A and B are shown apart, each in its own frame.
Chain A
Amino acid sequence: MFHEGLYVVGVKPARMAAIELDGVTKRFGGVTALQSVDLTVEEGEIFGFLGPNGAGKSTCINILLDFVRPTEGSVRVLDKDAYEGSTEIRERTGVLPEGYDVYDRLTGYQHLEFAIESKQADDDPDELLDRVGLSPEEGARKAGGYSKGMAQRLILAMALVDEPDLLILDEPTTGLDPNGARLLRDIVREENERGATVFFSSHILSQVEAVCDTVGILNEGELIAKDSVEELRQTETGDTRLTVTLGGDDAETAREAVSGLDTVTSATADGNRLVVECDDDAKMGVLTAIEDAGITVEDFEAAEPSLEDLFAAYTDADSTEASR
C-alpha cells in the first residue's frame, strides 16, 4: 500500500492494531471505572486481559463493543471508531460477553441461525455445535434448560460464526469444566492460527498464561502493566511459595541447606515448617536439598503466585523505577 521508500531503513513496518485505546476514561456517576487507559492490541495477537473482578475489564470490553460510551478518550477497533463504526466492527467480531443470558424459549439451533442470519453468513450450525462440544440433540433443545456450561458453549459457537477477524472473550471459562476449558484453549489457538486476533479477559492468571502471547494487567481501572507472557513469568519468579512440613523439629538445618541454592530467594524456619520462596521450577531441587540434609519431608504445598502478588510485584517495580 505504501511506497517502500517511505520506510526508514532498519525500522520494521508496524503491524496494524486490532484494538487501540487512547486515554480512555469512563465514569459512572461519581465512580471512575477506567482511568486514562492506553492500550494497543496488535493484529494476530492472543491478548490476555488480566485483572481481579471489578477492575474494569468488562467496562473496557463494553466500550469496545459500544455497549458503553467512554467519558474521555478515543477507541478504535479493527481500524474503525468504536461508536461510528460499531456495526461494521461487530460484523467482523465474535463476542462471548459476560453476564449475558440466552433466549430461554429458543433452541440452540435457533440461536445459531439467528447469529448466522445477523451476520449474513452461511455457516453450518451442526459444525459449529460440534466444534464447541454440543450434540445435535442438545442443539435441538430449548436453551432455557441449558446448564451454565452448555450456555457458554452455545454463545461461544455463536461467536465463531463467519470466521471473525477479532474474538472478544470476556471471562470465557466461567461455568466450564476442565474439559470445556481445554476445548476453549484449543479453539482460541485454532482461531488465532487462522488469523484472528483474540482478546481474552480473565481474573485467573494460569488461564491467561496458558494461551496468551501478550498480557495487560488492569487494576482498579488502571492499566498497570503490559508485557509479553515470558516477561510476566520472569516477574513472578521468586514469588512461588513452598511450604514444607518436616519430619523432625530441625527446621534450622533445613533452612541452611536450602539457603545455599541460587534458585531460592528466601527461606524461613517456623517450628517444624519451612517456608521457601523460590523459582517455580526449582521446587524439586529444594525438596531434594532438604532430604539430602537428612531431614524427611512429610508434606509440602506450593502456592502459585496470586494475582495480588503479581500486582504487588509490578507496583513495586514501578515505584523502584520511579525512585531511581
Chain B
Amino acid sequence: MSAEDNPFDGVGDTVRGADEWLNTTFGWYAVAKKEFQDALRSKGFWVLAILFTALFIRPVAAELYFSPATNQARSQLGMQLLISRYYLNLVSFLLPIVAIFAGYAAISKEHTSGSIKVLLSLPHSRREVIIGKIVGRCAVVGVPLLISFGLTALFLVVSKLTFKPGMFTMWAALSLLFTLVIVTVAVSISGAVLRNIYSLMASIVFYLEITFVWNLQVNAIAGWLAENLGFAPAVRWQLAFVAKLFNPSQAYKTIVNSQLSQGANGARMARWSMFSQPSDRMETICTGALNGNATVQRSLFGNQTVCQDAGQSLPLWLSDPAVLGYMAAWLVLAGAISYYTFDRYDL
C-alpha cells in the first residue's frame, strides 16, 4: 500500500508536526512527554481509569437499571441529584487522594534515585522541570479521568435517567480542574521538600486540611477576629467567605452546586449553603455578604429560610468566575512557591 492510500497517514503527520511544534515552542514539553510516557507503561495508570469508571457507574447501575421504582420525575431530576448527592462527594473525597499519590513523588523520587542528574544534565531549566512535571502528572491523572467521564456519559445515555450533556460536561470539566489543582499542589510540594516521605506527609496534611479542617478553622478565626477586633458582622462574614473559597475543595463544590441549580439565584444560594449557622446569623450572611434578602418559605418539608434576590447582584468576588479564579490561583501559586524553593537547592 502506498503512502497516498493510507487514510491515517495525514493524521500521523499532523501528530508529528504538533509534537515537534510543542517541543520547539515549550521548553517543558519534553519533560512532560517523558513523564507521561513513563506513566503509560505503569499498570496503575490503567487501574485508575477502570476504578474511576466503576465508582461513577456504580450508583447509576444500582438505581436506574434495577430499581423498578424509577418514575419519570426521578429520571428528570436524577442528573442533578446524582451529581450533587453522590458525585460531588466522591470527587472531593477520593480524587485528591488519587491525585496526591500520582504527584507526591514527582520530583522527590528523581532526587532520591539520582535520575534528576540525567534530567538536569539535559538543557532544562529548573523552572521547565517544575512546569513539565506538573503538566505531565496532570495528564497522567487527567487522561484516565477523561476516559472514565466518557464511559460514564455513555452509560448514563443508555440508562433510564435523562442525560443532560451540558450539565454533565460542566461537572466533568470542574472535576478535572479540581483534580489538576491537587496534582499541582502535590507535585509542587515534591519539588519544594525533595524527600519522598516529607512530600507525602505534607500532601496528606494538605488533603486533611482542605477536606475536613479548613472550614472549621475559618469559622473559628473569623469569630475570634470579630470579637476581639470589633469587626462589623457583615465584614466578619465577608472575610469568612473569601477564606472558605480559597479552599479548592469548597470552591469546587460551590461552583458545581450553583451551576446545577441553573436559576438566576443559583450562585447566591450555593454560597449561602456553605454556612450552617443559627438563623439570625444566616440572615446577616444573606443580607451583609450576599446582597440578598432572607425570607421564610413554606414548602412540603416545613418552613425553610432562603436567601432571595433583593434586586442587587452578588458581589463580584463571590461570583462563580471569581471562585474559578481562586481555584486557578492555586495552580500558579503552588508552582511559583515550588520553583522558588527548588531553584535554590543544591542537588
Interface residues of chain A, those whose CB is within 8 Å of chain B, are 28, 62, 65-69, 86-88, 90-91, 93, 95, 97-103, 105-106, 110, 114-115, 117-120, 142, 155, 158-159
Contact = CB atoms under 8 A, between A and B. Distances in A.
Contacts of A97: 114, 117-118, 121
A158 B117 CA distance: 12
A316 to B, nearest CB: 35
Contacts of B118: 97, 100-103, 155, 158
Given A67-B346, A118-B123, A101 B34 contact: no
B216 interface: no
Contacts of A68: 346-347
B120 interface: yes
Contacts of A159: 121
A101 B114 contact: yes
Contact of A87 (B24, B42, B113, B125): B125
B70 interface: no
A67 B120 contact: yes
B38 interface: yes
B115 interface: yes
A106 B38 contact: yes
Nearest to B127: A87
B33 A117 contact: yes
A103 B109 CA distance: 11
- Chain B interface residue bracket vs A: 20 to 34
B37 A110 contact: yes
A102 B115 contact: yes
Nearest to B22: A117
Interface string B15-44: 000000001100001110110011001100
A98 B118 CA distance: 9
A120 B122 CA distance: 11
B123 A106 contact: no
A117 B114 CA distance: 21
B124 interface: yes
Q: Kindly list the 3 A-B residue pairs having the minimum CB-CB distance in the complex, ordered from nearest.
A: A95-B121, A101-B113, A118-B122
Contacts of B29: 117
B113 A62 contact: no
Contacts, number: 81
A120 B29 CA distance: 11
Nearest to A158: B118
A95 B124 CA distance: 13
A65 B120 contact: yes
Contact of B124 (A69, A87, A88, A105): A87
A90 B347 CA distance: 16
Interface centre among B120, B124, B125, B347 (most CB of A within 10 A): B120
Contacts of B30: 114, 117-118
Contact of B122 (A101, A110, A115): A115
A176 to B, nearest CB: 17
B3 to A, nearest CB: 21
Given A100-B117, A155-B118, A87 B123 contact: yes
A118 B346 contact: no
B41 A105 contact: yes
A101 B125 CA distance: 19
B123 A28 contact: no
B346 A69 contact: yes
24 contacts: A65-B120, A67-B120, A87-B125, A90-B121, A90-B123, A91-B123, A98-B117, A101-B114, A102-B115, A103-B34, A103-B115, A105-B38, A105-B41, A106-B38, A115-B122, A117-B29, A117-B30, A117-B33, A119-B123, A120-B24, A155-B118, A158-B118, A158-B122, A159-B121
Nearest to B110: A101
Contacts of B346: 28, 62, 67-69
Contacts of B114: 97, 99-101
A155 B33 CA distance: 19
Given A66-B120, A103-B115, 10 more contacts: A67-B117, A90-B121, A93-B121, A95-B121, A99-B117, A103-B34, A105-B38, A115-B122, A118-B123, A120-B24
A16 B195 CA distance: 41
Contacts of B125: 86-87
Nearest to A118: B122
B115 A101 contact: yes
B196 to A, nearest CB: 14
A65 B38 contact: no
A86 B120 CA distance: 10
Nearest to B124: A118
A86 B125 CA distance: 8
A282 B37 CA distance: 59
Contacts of A95: 117, 121
A103 B120 contact: no
A132 to B, nearest CB: 15
Interface centre among A28, A117, A142, A155 (most CB of B within 10 A): A117
A162 to B, nearest CB: 10
B128 to A, nearest CB: 8
A110 B121 CA distance: 16
